[in-house]
Amino acid sequence: MKILVAVKQVAALEEDFEIRADGKDVDEDFMLYDLNEWDDYSLEEAMKIKESSDVEVEVVVVSVGPDRVDESLRKCLAKGADRAIRVWDDSAEGSDAIVVGRILTEVIKKEAPDMVFAGVQSSDQAYASTGISIASYLNWPHAAVVADLQYKPGDNKAVVRRELEGGLLQEVEINCPAVLTIQLGINKPRYASLRGIKQAATKPIEEVSLGDLSLTANDVGAANSMSRVRRMYVPEKGRATMIEGTLAEQAAKIIQIINEFKGA
Amino acid sequence: MNDPTQITRILFQDFDPKAIYLFYAIGYLAIAVFIYGVYVQIRKYRRGKSDGSWNELFQRFVEMVKTMATHRTLVRRDKSAGRAHGLIFFGFVLLFIGTATITLEYDILEPLFGVKFWYGNFYLMFSLVLDLAGFGLIAGLIYMMYRRKWLNLPKLDYKRVDRQEGDPDFDRSQYRREDWAFLWSFILIGITGFILEATRLVWLSDSPHVWDYRFWSPVGAMLAHIMQALGLTADGAGSFRPVLWWFHGVLSLTFIACIPFTKIKHIFTAATSLMFKDPLAGRRLPRVPDDQKTAGYKNITDLTWKNLLHLDACTKCGRCQEACPANAVGAPLSPRDVILSLREFANKALSSKELPKEAELDIHGKDVGQVFMETLWSCRTCLACVEICPVAVEHVPIIVQMRRNLVEAGEMEPILEKTLQTIHKTGNSFGESKRKRAAWAKDLPFEIKDARTEPVDILWFVGDYASFDPRNQKVTRSFAKLMHNAGINFGLLFEAELNSGNDLRRVGEEGLYELLATSNIGTLQACDFKSIVTTDPHSFNTIRNEYPDFGGKFEINHYTTLVKQLIENGQIKLKKKLDYRVTFHDPCHLGRYNKGFDAPRDVIKLLGCELVEMARNRDNSFCCGAGGGRIWIPDPVGIEKPSANRMREAGQIEGLDVFIVSCPKDLTMFEDALKTSGYEGKFIVRELIELIDECVEYEVWEEAALPE
Ligand code: SF4
Ligand code: SF4
């Protein structure tokens, strides 16, 4: 039994940042990298299944990205993942979420897991489509925004609850193997202590090239993606007004503004 | 004149030899039980991990003897109890030496070599000394009984704060019974000893070798006269004596047999605990060996033998609990209860022949003898407990070791977890960009050197709070001006400075601590400087005491020491005096941790302030509540915060103007507490630097010109 968890190292911005010279992204100097928050939850969900199972469950984490991603993979290993795989080739720079999904799909074909988990979305790009594109490439059933999962290794069906708008939950029965994108709050991710991360350094991270996956530079990268970033910029600041007057006057003014916004 | 060899006490006088054999048999039995008990205890300690405290044994021994001879740890903050204990202790020691002397002659020297010395003047002196010793012993015991019965000290009712009524180990009345049994049996041994002595005098009142010298045993003689006055005859005494003799003898032997199994064992455990005292306990936490799989204490067998010994040394005196700030505000933590829980646990798990299964060794949890995680997280690692413990129990290293295990298991407040991740990511607890580390210095009218690129005399390690907290940044700028004005050649590490790790280490995140410490050490070692200064006592402590374990040996001073020197040698010129009535709060990490009590007070006096001490000052200073990572965990609502408790204390000082602190975290904690505890407007909280700043007139610029 094997669960594959697709993870991403995301960038957080420092308070004051600058846009890269080509105008398409933030200057890397101002980014702090960390494991995507959603992936903490999907990995935890896999770990829970592993730890409560009578049969052997292998949890494999996979990520597409450069060397720096090893740090996040090591965090996953520290939390208990059995193996980590990182796919990279410089030509993959600029790949959109669908292409990343394609690359991951090739890994999944080789690994042949029984379940694939991914986060609902990444906190930096927020396309929310990597997991779904995997399902599409594999032609597997999928469920998105999973807030609860009932599944035991070996089951040929899983019952998931999906989070919908307006506080609704939808309970879905899904055939396995399946791709699930996991929502925040489904569990309480464990803390990876720094000692744990350090000790995980002895677990190897498999580096996989495009060639190993029968892909070429012509399959990946910005040029081969169906969407490309044209520019990244900080929009003009919105309006701000200083409201003067007595407390009562200020309150009246605020009510007026709110009503205007509501279109009343 | 009597023949001096006649002036002695004939042992077993008029006893049937069978009775003597019987007595010896009971004696040997008592000793056998004692030895078995000692063996069980030692086997228990040996089940702990090793500890490196075997160095300088002689020195340690001398220190221990000094401590015991002066009773200095016992009279501290509780003179009467300490003195009463002194009477009991010295009384007991003398009586023990006396008995040993008799045994030496009667059972060894005389039968083997025919040597006798217990007669004549020696015997008389001996009698006098032992009589006084016995008197002291009884007097001490009576005071202790009075104290337990009538002083109603809350610390002596053993009420638990970490358990609820109804929990299986809530009830500690067994301890109270044991205390009383101890006091009563001890005092009965003393009293029957005197009565026995008096009975012998009455019995032998017509023997001049005895009667003429009776006043060398003044207490016995007085009792003898009273007995005679009450009509006791020599014959009566003679027939009464054996009963009493057996009672006294068997009680004493039982007492000896009980030593290893009851609180009496503190005679040995407390002494040994004192001997293995670590002067840096809590100040320098133990490293986790690189090859060790898990960090910290999970099972009772993870404790070192020294920890286990400390558990047994505790005499339940409650001084640690009284000093504990967490306990004072009603948190579910009493350092004594942590020690006692673990002791009960160790006694249960480690005293039998076979070790129980691994699962039964886990010291974390909610079961009997286990320590709650809430209890461990309540600790502020202020060291008040370690400081006051009369028998050198070291609570904080045990608490931190247990927290290390909680951290590894992720059992902590989510908000703390977030902070740890933030520090890992950004190198500071504010989650700010490294680049902003020295942003506070931007608007200073002078440049501060970059110690990474040019040599300086003094390297200033600023610390997180002083760097990033807006209120503290003001102080930080003032200190920069002060140093600049004094003509000091100083520099910063700018963005290369990381959180020093002191508090993280006390949280129990050892891996992160190692990461930060080694990074800072590497940065520091690449710089050219003579010494380090910091305004942050927390950084001060870890750089001073803990970085050496990681290869970073640096000279470091807290700013109070440096400023005192600078004022005294005229590099800082005070242009005016302040006439404030002030009080000073000793930061734990400067005061108790590193004995920096005097420099700040000296500076305060140099400024002309009138210093009024709070009741809890210097080594008894009351933690602001921010230590041990608690600054990152909000205190529960509804109960008083330690900082507010401290404000109430300061508020009692008539006409107080300024509550002075010398630690960035203190400034934050107490300014908050001032607002919430209703003393706003009565007095103000200031960092000492701000007061110095008031006294220095700068020629070129004004702080007012600087942005807040
Ligand atoms: S270190 Fe301070 S807070 Fe912790 S147990 Fe000791 S006295 Fe209490
Ligand atoms: S640990 Fe020390 S201070 Fe605390 S109760 Fe025991 S002997 Fe007293």
Tokens of A246: 């007595």
Separation CA B617–CA B364 (nearest Å): 34
Cβ neighbourhood burial of B581 (10 Å; 0-12, 13-18, 19+): middle
Minimum-distance CB partner of B425 among A16, A32, A195: A32
Segments of chain B scoring below 70 in pLDDT: 1-2, 699-708
CA B420, B423, B426, B428: dihedral to nearest 10 degrees?
A: 150
Phi/psi of residue A2, each to 5°? -140, 135
The predicted pLDDT at position B699 comes to: 62
The predicted pLDDT at position B2 comes to: 65
- Contact yes or no for A32 and B295 at CB 8 A: no
Task: Please tell me the distance between residue B666's alpha carbon and the centre of ligand 1 in angstroms.
Answer: 17
The predicted pLDDT at position B218 comes to: 93
Separation CA B275–CA B58 (nearest Å): 10
Segments of chain A scoring below 50 in pLDDT: none
Q: Which of A219, A211, A261, A264 is nearest to A239 (CA)?
A: A261
Reported in sequence order, the residue ranges of B635-703 that DSSP labels E, i.e. its strands, are 658-661, 684-687
Residue B100, C-beta contacts closer than 8 angstroms, at least 6 positions apart = none
Separation CA A155–CA B262 (nearest Å): 59
pLDDT in tens, B393-407: 999 999 999 999 999
Residue of A nearest to B288 (CA): A195
Beta-carbon-side half-sphere exposure of residue B389 (alpha carbons within 13 Å): 30
- Contact yes or no for B511 and A196 at CB 8 A: yes
Residues of A in contact with B417 (CB under 8 A): 191
- B413: contact with A, CB 8 A cutoff: no
Residue of A nearest to B434 (CA): A14
Separation CA B585–CA B613 (nearest Å): 9
Q: Is B47 helix (H, G, I), strand (E, B) or coil?
A: coil
Would you say A62 and A4 are in contact if contact means Cβ atoms under 8 Å apart? yes
Phi/psi of residue A53, each to 5°? -95, 145
- Contact yes or no for B410 and A14 at CB 8 A: no
The predicted pLDDT at position B705 comes to: 46
Would you say B396 and B383 are in contact if contact means Cβ atoms under 8 Å apart? yes
Length of chain B: 708
CA B571, B576, B578, B584: dihedral to nearest 10 degrees?
A: 0
Tokens of A212: 């190993």
Tokens of B160: 């638990």
Separation CA B565–CA B174 (nearest Å): 56
Which strand ranges, in their side-by-side order, compose the sheet holding A115-119?
A169-175, A157-163, A142-150, A179-182, A115-119, A2-6, A58-64, A83-87, A205-208
Tokens of A128: 């929310």
Q: What is the pTM assigned to this prediction?
A: 0.91
Tokens of B74: 């016992």
Q: Which of B468, B415, B464, B465 is nearest to B632 (CA)?
A: B415
pLDDT in tens, A175-189: 999 999 999 999 999
- A193: contact with B, CB 8 A cutoff: yes
Residues of B in contact with A74 (CB under 8 A): none
Tokens of B97: 């030496």
Task: Please tell me the distance between residue B333's alpha carbon and the centre of ligand 2 in angstroms.
Answer: 14
Name residue, tokens 């996991």.
A182
Nearest listed ligand to the Cα of residue B628: 1
Task: Please tell me the distance between residue B376's alpha carbon and the centre of ligand 1 in angstroms.
Answer: 10
